[in-house]
Amino acid sequence: MAYGKPESDSVQASQLEQLLIWLREDLMGELQAINQYQAHIDNIDNAEVKDLLAHIRDDEKEHVAEITHLISRIDAIQREKFLEDHTVEGDERVVSGEPDNRVPTVGSMFGQK
Ligand SMILES: [Fe+2]
């Protein structure tokens, strides 16, 4: 980088692409953490520990959402893909953020959200 000279568009683009690579790696780590906490919750026979790990697991879910939103702000194609619901046909699509009562959630099976 030259001092006093603005970075070229190609330098900025490559920096953003590297940032996206790191964010995708971070996202994988957060998803793996959720699975690991869930596996431990399922195998620990101590209510207090289970509750604490469930709280931490849910924090990881928040991290997934934060990183996903950050990626969508930087990657326009990914943002478009997040807005599209490819799991069902047109009229059946659920608006992002709205509950889909046609399918069970892990929480709904236990009387939770
Ligand atoms: Fe995390």
Domain ranges of the chain: 14-84
Give the pLDDT confidence of 37-61 residue by residue, as tens digits: 999 999 999 999 999 999 999 999 9
Query: Which pLDDT does position 36 carry in this prediction?
Result: 98
Provide the whole-model pTM.
0.77
Write the DSSP symbol of residue 85: -
Whether the per-residue pLDDT at 113 is higher than 70: the answer is no
Give yes or no for a contact between 68 and 96, defined as CB atoms under 8 angstroms apart. Answer: no
Query: Which pLDDT does position 90 carry in this prediction?
Result: 74
The residues near 77 (Cβ < 8 Å, ≥ 6 apart) are none
Query: How far, in Å, from the CA of 79 to the mean position of ligand 1?
Result: 22
Query: Which pLDDT does position 6 carry in this prediction?
Result: 74
Query: How far, in Å, from the CA of 69 to the mean position of ligand 1?
Result: 14
3-state secondary structure of 26: helix
Query: How far, in Å, from the CA of 2 to the mean position of ligand 1?
Result: 36
Query: How far, in Å, from the CA of 89 to the mean position of ligand 1?
Result: 33
